[in-house]
Amino acid sequence: MYRLLRAALFLLPAEASHDLALKAMSLVERLGLTGLIAARTRGLAREITVMGIRFPHRVGLAAGLDKNADHADALQGLGFAWLELGTLTPRPQPGNPKPRMFRLAQQHAIINRLGFNNKGIDYALTKLSTRRRKGIVGINIGKNADTPLEEANEDYLIGLRKAYPVADYIAINISSPNTPGLRSLQYGEELDSLLGALMAERRTLAAALGRVVPIAVKLAPDMTIEELTLCCGKLVAHGVEGVIATNTTFDRERVAESEHAAETGGLSGAPLTEKACATLSHIKALVGDRMAIIGVGGIMTGGDAQARIEAGADLVQVYSGFIYAGPPLISDCLRATA
C-alpha cells in the first residue's frame, strides 16, 4: 500500500509531496483510520530506559519531518517510540527560497537546504498542548538565521526555557549545514560557551520545576576524528546526557552521478549510512557509557538499525528511510533491534 502511495507522491516535487503526505496522514488520523497504515509493533516492542526516559522501543522519528508539531498525533499513531520535533527557533522564519529539497530516487537519498523553516517555538508548543496522543517528545532547538553567531547562546537559552516544561528531552542542533556558521558551534570556545550556558540554565530550571530534562547534542557526520575527540570531550565534561549522531552530510562522493549532486545542502538517506555509522562508532569509543547515543543517518532497513545498535547506539531514529519505505520500516527496525 505504501509503495503505491509513494509512487503517486513521488510524481510531485519533493517538498510538495512531503507536505501533502503529512496532511494526508493527519486526515487519516482524524478519521480514526491510522491503524490501517501504522507499523505493526505488537509483540515486537521491548521497553528500554535511556537518559532516564522509558521508551516503548528503540525506534523514533528524527527531527525535521514535523518541525512545527502540526502532525504529532498522526506520526505518534504510526508506531514510533517517540518523536523529535523541530528544529524550532525563537522566532518564526521562512527558511531558504524554494526549491530547497531534492529527491535522489535512484540513490534513496534526499538533499535539503530548508534552513530551519519553522513557525517558531511558541506555535509548536501550543500545538503540542492540544495533541490527543501523549507520547514521548524530544524538542530540537536551534538559532534564527538572522541572529549573529556571537548571540547564538541566547537563542538556544530561549529554546531551552520554553521547551523545558514540555519536552522529555531537548536536542541541541549545532550541526545543520543550512544555517551559515552553525556548525562552528561544535568546536572550541564556542562549544564550551554554549554548553556552559545551557547546563547552568538547566540547573536553574531543574531546581525551579523539580525535574531534570536531559539534553542531547546533535552532531554532523563531517567532523575529523580529532574534531570529534575534542567535541565529545567537552560534551562529557559539561555533563550532557546524550549525543545524536548524525545530521546530514556535505559529502557528495556517493551521489556524484545524480543530477542533483551539485545542489547545496545536506545529503541524507542511503549514501549516508556508512559515514553516520562510522561516526557513531568513533563517538562510542570516545564516550563509552558516559552518554547515551541516538543513532541516525541512512537507516533504511532493519539491518541498518541493528548495525547501529551494534556500533553503540542506545536508540535509533529514521527520516529518509521512512520517506522511502513508510511505516513498515518501523516494524523492520523493531524486529532487528528487539
Ligand X SMILES: Cc1cc2nc3c(=O)[nH]c(=O)nc-3n(C[C@H](O)[C@H](O)[C@H](O)COP(=O)(O)O)c2cc1C
Q: Provide the annotated active-site residues.
A: 176
Number of C-alpha atoms within 13 angstroms, CB side, residue 275?
A: 23
Interface with ligand X (CB under 6 A), residue from 75, 83, 272, 309: 272
Asked if 140 interacts with ligand X (CB under 6 A), we say yes
d(CA 65, CA 114): 11
Asked if 320 interacts with ligand X (CB under 6 A), we say yes
Which grid coordinates belong to 228?
570529534
* 255 within 8 A of 280, measured Cβ to Cβ: no
Give the pairing of strands 169-173 and 215-219: parallel
Which grid coordinates belong to 19?
507536505
Phi, psi of 147 (to 5 degrees): -80, 125
| Site for ligand X, residues 72 to 131, rule: CB under 6 A | 86-87, 101, 110, 112, 114, 116
Whichever of 67 and 234 has its CB closer to ligand X, that residue is: 67
Which grid coordinates belong to 79?
508506531
**Minimum gap (Å) between residue 36 Cβ and ligand X:** 24
Q: Indicate the residue type of 63.
A: A
* 166 within 8 A of 137, measured Cβ to Cβ: yes
Interface with ligand X (CB under 6 A), residue from 269, 295, 302, 312: 269
Question: Which of these segments, 62-70, 129-137, 157-165, 330-338, binds ligand X (CB under 6 A)?
Answer: 62-70
Whichever of 83 and 204 has its CB closer to ligand X, that residue is: 83
Question: Which of these segments, 27-35, 143-151, 156-164, 297-305, binds ligand X (CB under 6 A)?
Answer: 297-305
DSSP for 289-301, written as a single string: TSSEEEEESS--S
Whichever of 53 and 325 has its CB closer to ligand X, that residue is: 325
Question: Which of these segments, 19-27, 56-64, 90-98, 255-263, binds ligand X (CB under 6 A)?
Answer: 56-64
Using alpha carbons, select from 75, 50, 27 the residue that is nearest to residue 291: 50
Report DSSP state, residue 100: -
Using alpha carbons, select from 272, 318, 265 the residue that is nearest to residue 109: 272
The interface mask with ligand X, positions 215-254, x = CB under 6 A, is ---x----------------------------xx------
Which grid coordinates belong to 10?
513521488
d(CA 67, CA 60): 15
Asked if 173 interacts with ligand X (CB under 6 A), we say yes
Whichever of 213 and 289 has its CB closer to ligand X, that residue is: 213
d(CA 10, CA 219): 30
Interface with ligand X (CB under 6 A), residue from 214, 297, 302, 327: 297
Whichever of 26 and 320 has its CB closer to ligand X, that residue is: 320
Whichever of 71 and 132 has its CB closer to ligand X, that residue is: 71
Chain contacts with ligand X (rule: CB under 6 A): 62-64, 67, 86-87, 101, 110, 112, 114, 116, 140, 173, 176, 218, 247-248, 268-269, 272, 296-299, 318-321
